Structure 1
Amino acid sequence: MANELNNRFNELMKGGDDFFSNLGRSFFNGFDDSFKEMKTDISESDTAYTVAVDLPGVDKKDIDIDFKDHALTISAKRDSFSDESDAKGNLLSSERSYGRFTRQYQFPNVDKDKISAKYEAGVLTVTLPKTAEEISNSHKIEIE
């Protein structure tokens, strides 16, 4: 009996117990980093950068795009959903997420006045044309 209790205690300390290994998992799943919700492909050509972001289930009016100090910021909001998966309305499993998501990308040499965006079939595509010359926000200071 003492050996069995000792083994059980050791399993608990190693995290081998199913109860403790799953404790809080569903609660903390809601705090995943938002970048996980905004799967992105970024490509570059000689003339532009293209950012394609998967935003399924997001309404176009709930997407904000901003470009400032070489940073493209995309924010989106996905409303909660209802799923009548059984007669009582109990949700048996949930993997879809909702809430506000933000992601930021850094791009040099962008002509901010010519940035364009389109949203089609759950995919946001932002095109950032490059400038002919590099625009620098830095200034070298000589030491006397």
Structure 2
Amino acid sequence: MANDLMNRHNDLMDFGAGRFFNRLAHSFFDDDFSDLTFNDTMRTDIKESDQAYTATIDLPGVDKKDLKIDYQNNILTVSAKNEQNTDERDENDQLVHRERRYGQFSRQYQLPNVDQDKITAKYNDGVLTITLPKSAEATKHQIEIQ
């Protein structure tokens, strides 16, 4: 019952067979099509040092050519698209089943005082690593209290 109360699709006034079929439909679409919403993609770790920010972003299954990185007005934007086509064929090479999935997603991060000309990015085994060196004017300034 506690899980029912936490379920965002739950309608407390929905009883009987209608509730069963509604929950079945929500479960079917939530589980089978979660890749289309990319809810768990672009998991990001951002580390800051005195010299730079380092963003590590998980993008499993995304091809390097489908990535776009932009930095403007202190905002890092990472965009990607994911397209998957699968075919199943029988022993006579006849098409039995075909699935196509497509999705686009992007994420933005506010990272101030970056030297735009020195930003670097590497993509290896589904992990995008972006290094954003801080500009010289980004040094910390201690303010004296009077």
Same fold (TM over 0.5): yes
Task: Out of 126-135 and 68-77, give the one that drifted further.
Answer: 126-135
Match of residue 55, structure 2, among 51, 55, 58: 51
- Name the counterpart of 2:144: none
| Deviation at residue 46 of structure 1 after TM alignment | 1.1
CA 1:14–1:86 in structure 2 vs 1: closer, same or farther (change >3 Å)? farther
* TM value normalised by structure 1: 0.67
Contact map agreement 1:35 1:103 (CA 8 A) in 2 = no
Identical residues among aligned pairs (%): 49
Contact 1:80 1:99 in 2 (8 A): no
**Length, aligned pairs only:** 120
1:69 corresponds to which letter in structure 2?
Answer: N
- AA partner of residue 63 (structure 1): L
Correspondence for 1:89: 97
Asked whether 1:112 is paired with 2:77, we answer: no
RMSD: 3.2
Q: Which residue of 1 aligns with 2:128?
A: 124
TM-score computed with the length of structure 2 as normaliser: 0.66
Is it true that 1:37 corresponds to 2:45 in the alignment?
A: no
Match of 2:81 in 1: 77
CA distance in 1, matches of 2:17, 2:55: 41
Q: Contact 2:86 / 2:98 at 8 angstroms: preserved in 1?
A: no
SS in 2 for 1:89: strand
